């Protein structure tokens, strides 16, 4: 019992280290202690002759993994930690217990197929479902080891998940025959070959300069979202923004400011009359006429009646309206570009399956006036500067979703911006790893990224995923960089998370095969 507990805790540490500042290399053996526990319990019985239960061990491992890596969410909402841990643990442990059930009754190759395909299917569903917090997608663990996963431009992060799963299984099989040197050849090749390919891609990658470049300034105001944000008037906050923007060079093409940097209750058709918008437009028109400002804002869209209102619309008296977490594009012309955030944070910005649970909206957490069920966009809008440069404006949480992120590129984005407000999480691993996820998105799309956060971590990322410049927590200021443009669409941009979809099909077919032939008791593969 004690030995099995130690193995479980070893798995927790190996899983959690990449999200706590360690190397992703530990992921390649993180499943092995858990697999050893599963094997050790095979055929063993307790005092009453009943088989020893396996399920507490994966539940313990995955629950502690979640708690160790998302505890910082508790600064904003403790219930968020509990919910993320509960749902994530159930899904992860569910996949592993299905593997356990198959492994008891079928040869290991079939069980391994169920485990790998099932895990990929779970990650794909967690990325694309309404109940979604895909923080611990295995492939995300390489966010700080980008030299090892340059082939994400073909596979996306799920390719990293597949790599981790396969190496773990091969290491486990080698461990069972650990005194035989030849047993370690297969896991060695499985790890070394993709790593070597990636290192070669990293060394040889050169950014295409034929499309030219763009000069981008990022603004980090460093406004405390818990205290300072609510003490400052909207007027003073916009003045602070403009004061920082004035530090941008005269030849700047884009100035990027954080998520919800503008907080005024104006309908979208009247945004030109909003004082903060007018103040920024005046600055652009008088001081930076060639520049485009991309800034986060809450926006409101009215509807004529309840019949024409969207399913997410709110109402006040006879007025029906949607509230959006938006990115605005402001330049010297009368036009205003608007992108509505579509990947909304559960419990903060949306309630899963909202039309079915409207009566439970009182459970939603309030984080500074952007809570409740927000409206969401159907199109990934791309902002075009007066000089014709196309930029995609992803908002905070949207940068976690690889396939979603590619939609900006398919819509023409030559460079990407990410705007965020990470101050809710204080100076914790949360904001640092959220920044690191953008490095993976840069590789997948081969787009340079400029990231503007309210407070830590803002910076620039090139097309290889390298961080070229950054501003850290609690730093206020402006940074400027020249980013190369790209209009090539990678394989991943064109095909998205194909590995996850294939994994889902293989998982279902494997279970159907197992079930059918166990029932009929005739198969050369299933005992």
Q: For each of the chain's 527 residues, which pLDDT tens digit applies?
A: 678 899 999 999 999 999 998 999 999 999 999 999 988 887 666 666 566 788 899 999 999 999 999 998 877 778 888 888 999 999 999 999 999 999 988 888 999 999 999 999 999 999 998 888 889 999 999 999 999 999 999 999 999 999 999 999 999 999 988 888 898 999 999 999 999 999 999 999 999 998 999 999 999 998 877 666 666 777 888 888 999 999 999 999 999 999 988 888 889 888 988 999 999 999 999 999 999 999 999 999 998 888 788 888 888 877 888 999 999 999 988 889 999 999 988 877 777 766 665 555 555 444 433 446 888 888 899 999 988 999 999 999 899 999 999 999 999 999 999 999 887 778 888 888 899 999 999 999 999 999 999 987 899 999 999 999 999 888 899 999 999 999 999 999 999 999 999 999 999 999 999 988 777 655 555 55
Asked if residue 159 and residue 285 are part of one domain, the reply reads no
pLDDT (0 to 100) of residue 40: 83
Asked if residue 466 and residue 432 are part of one domain, the reply reads yes
Note whether residue 143 is domain-resident. Answer: yes
Asked if residue 240 and residue 379 are part of one domain, the reply reads yes
Note whether residue 494 is domain-resident. Answer: no
Asked if residue 448 and residue 313 are part of one domain, the reply reads yes
Note whether residue 493 is domain-resident. Answer: no
Smallest Cα–Cα separation from 500: which of 87, 166, 128? 128
Asked if residue 222 and residue 200 are part of one domain, the reply reads no
pLDDT (0 to 100) of residue 517: 73
Asked if residue 62 and residue 103 are part of one domain, the reply reads yes
Note whether residue 525 is domain-resident. Answer: no
What domain range is 41 assigned to? 2-205+501-520
Domain count, the chain: 2
DSSP letter string, 192-228: HHHHHHHHHHHHH-----TT-EEEEEEEE----TTTH
- Give the predicted TM-score (pTM) of the model: 0.91
- Provide the CATH number for the domain around residue 255: 3.60.110.10
Asked if residue 167 and residue 313 are part of one domain, the reply reads no
Q: List alpha helices for 232-293, DSSP H.
A: 234-245, 275-287
Asked if residue 394 and residue 364 are part of one domain, the reply reads yes
The H or E element containing residue 231 is: helix 228-231
Asked if residue 201 and residue 244 are part of one domain, the reply reads no
Note whether residue 526 is domain-resident. Answer: no
Note whether residue 462 is domain-resident. Answer: yes
Asked if residue 230 and residue 172 are part of one domain, the reply reads no
Note whether residue 527 is domain-resident. Answer: no
Cis link prior to 22 (omega < 30° from 0)? no
Q: List alpha helices for 337-459, DSSP H.
A: 402-410, 429-445
Note whether residue 409 is domain-resident. Answer: yes
Asked if residue 137 and residue 240 are part of one domain, the reply reads no
Asked if residue 377 and residue 508 are part of one domain, the reply reads no
């Amino acid at each position: 019992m004690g030995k099995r507990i130690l193995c479980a805790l070893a798995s927790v540490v190996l899983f959690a280290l990449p999200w706590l500042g360690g190397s992703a290399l530990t992921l390649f053996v993180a499943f092995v202690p858990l697999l050893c526990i599963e094997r050790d319990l095979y055929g063993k019985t307790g005092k009453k002759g009943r088989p020893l239960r396996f399920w507490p061990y994966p539940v313990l491992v995955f629950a502690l993994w979640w708690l160790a890596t998302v505890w910082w969410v508790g600064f904003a909402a403790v219930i968020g930690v509990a919910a993320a841990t509960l749902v994530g643990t159930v899904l992860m442990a569910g996949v592993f217990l299905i593997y356990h059930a198959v492994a008891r009754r079928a040869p290991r190759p079939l069980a391994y197929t169920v485990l790998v395909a099932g895990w990929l299917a779970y990650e794909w569903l967690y990325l694309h479902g309404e109940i979604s917090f895909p923080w611990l997608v295995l492939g995300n663990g390489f966010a700080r080891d980008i030299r090892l996963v340059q082939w994400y431009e073909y596979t996306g992060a799920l390719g990293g998940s597949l790599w981790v799963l396969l190496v773990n299984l091969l290491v486990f099989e080698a461990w069972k025959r650990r005194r035989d040197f030849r047993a370690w050849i297969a896991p060695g090749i499985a790890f070394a070959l993709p790593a070597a390919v990636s290192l070669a891609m990293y060394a040889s990658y050169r950014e295409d300069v034929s499309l030219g470049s763009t000069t981008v300034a990022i603004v980090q105001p460093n406004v405390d979202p818990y205290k300072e944000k609510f003490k400052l008037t909207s007027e003073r906050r916009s003045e602070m923004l403009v004061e920082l923007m004035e530090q941008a060079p005269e030849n700047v093409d884009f100035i990027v400011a954080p998520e919800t940097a503008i907080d005024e209750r104006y309908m979208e058709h009247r945004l030109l009359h909003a004082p903060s918008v007018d103040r920024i437009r005046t600055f652009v028109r008088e001081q930076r006429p060639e520049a485009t400002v991309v800034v986060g804002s809450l926006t409101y869209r009215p509807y004529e009646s309840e019949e024409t209102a969207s399913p997410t619309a709110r109402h006040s008296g006879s007025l029906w309206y949607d509230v959006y977490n938006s990115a605005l594009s402001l330049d010297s012309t009368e036009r205003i570009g608007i992108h509505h955030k579509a990947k909304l944070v559960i419990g903060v910005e949306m309630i899963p399956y909202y039309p079915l649970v409207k009566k439970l909206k009182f459970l939603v957490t309030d984080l500074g006036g952007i809570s409740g069920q927000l409206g969401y966009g159907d199109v990934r809008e791309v902002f075009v500067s007066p000089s014709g440069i196309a930029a995609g404006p992803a908002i905070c949480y949207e940068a976690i979703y690889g396939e979603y992120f590619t939609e900006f590129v398919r819509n023409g984005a030559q460079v990407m911006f990410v705007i965020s407000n990470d101050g809710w999480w204080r100076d914790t691993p949360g904001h640092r790893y959220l920044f690191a996820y953008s490095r993976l998105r840069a590789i997948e799309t081969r787009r340079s990224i400029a990231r503007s956060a309210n407070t830590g971590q803002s910076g620039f990322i090139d097309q290889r995923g390298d961080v070229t410049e950054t501003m850290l927590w609690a730093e206020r200021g402006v940074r400027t960089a020249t980013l190369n443009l790209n209009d090539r669409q990678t394989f991943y941009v064109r095909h998205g998370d194909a590995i996850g979809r294939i994994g889902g099909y293989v998982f279902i077919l494997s279970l159907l095969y197992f079930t059918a032939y166990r029932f009929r008791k005739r198969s050369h593969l299933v005992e």
